[in-house]
């Protein structure tokens, strides 16, 4: 996490030299991948972090065992990166609400998909059960992004709805799980005038923000919950089995078996 933090600072100073004298305080978060990865091997360097930032592009996001999601385990199946989004409308304007998760949490018996509890029927082939004590140890990072105009406290309210989406996949939130949820809005470009946030002021006499009224936030909350649930399932479905550090193995979610169970329960055709 410290290397990632330093990489962000280096990238910012390299590509935005006007901030070189600023006090840079980026956010870096972690989920533990020591079952599959040699976490103390020093394999990730600042330059690798910088290259990752420089390689970032817009467009569809690869899911599964990619990037920081490579060593993740979710419900004691192969976990990792997952994403989903929803479109909501306010006052005739459509807005996107997207959720990205790094899924590394949950015990096998908890797993639920589309409201169907699957853990007992998928209890076999679980090498993580003997490794982790207690079962379900892990963490999850969730990032909520939207172009809907929101106030900071409304973004905080979005982040808090992530828990509801995770719960739909079965977890009750393990005591030994470190969970971090962040939310941001890309709306209101130019709302803050140059100099208005500096120590000595400057800029316009007033800045202005446009925001969705609190009483109209329910569709946005619902979008976060639905997208979070789907992002976790996507992280599971996108994966294959993996053997990593010291031959530790994590099985992939048996997709065909899951489909058969959901068909038998009348959830899918």
Active site amino acids? 139, 177, 179
Give me the sign of the Cα torsion angle 47, 53, 57, 60. Answer: positive
Give dist(CA 176, CA 183) in Å, integer.
23
Give dist(CA 91, CA 125) in Å, integer.
51
Give dist(CA 142, CA 82) in Å, integer.
10
């Amino acid at each position: 996490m410290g290397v990632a933090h330093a990489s962000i600072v280096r990238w910012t100073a390299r590509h935005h030299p006007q901030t070189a004298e600023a006090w840079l305080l980026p956010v870096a978060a972690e989920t533990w991948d020591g079952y599959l990865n040699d976490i103390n091997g020093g394999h990730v360097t600042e330059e690798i972090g910088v290259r990752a930032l420089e390689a970032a592009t817009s467009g569809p996001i690869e899911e599964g065992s990619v990037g920081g999601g490579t060593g993740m385990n979710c419900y004691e199946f192969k976990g990792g990166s997952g994403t989903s989004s929803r479109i909501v409308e306010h006052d005739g304007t459509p807005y996107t609400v997207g959720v990205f998760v790094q899924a590394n949490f949950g015990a096998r018996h908890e797993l639920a998909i589309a409201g169907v509890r699957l853990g007992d029927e998928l209890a076999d082939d679980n090498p993580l059960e003997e490794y982790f004590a207690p079962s379900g140890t892990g963490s999850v990072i969730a990032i909520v992004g939207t172009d809907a105009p929101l106030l900071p406290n409304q973004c905080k309210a979005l982040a808090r709805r992530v828990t509801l989406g995770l719960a739909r996949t079965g977890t009750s939130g393990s005591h030994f799980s470190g969970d971090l949820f962040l939310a941001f809005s890309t709306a209101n470009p130019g709302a803050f005038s140059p100099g208005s946030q500096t120590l000595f002021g400057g800029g316009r006499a007033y800045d202005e923000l446009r925001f969705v009224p609190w009483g109209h936030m329910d569709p946005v909350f619902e979008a976060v919950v639905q997208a979070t649930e789907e992002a976790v399932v996507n992280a599971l479905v996108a994966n294959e089995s993996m053997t990593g550090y010291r031959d530790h193995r994590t099985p992939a979610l048996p997709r065909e078996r899951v489909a058969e169970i959901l068909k038998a329960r009348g959830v899918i055709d």
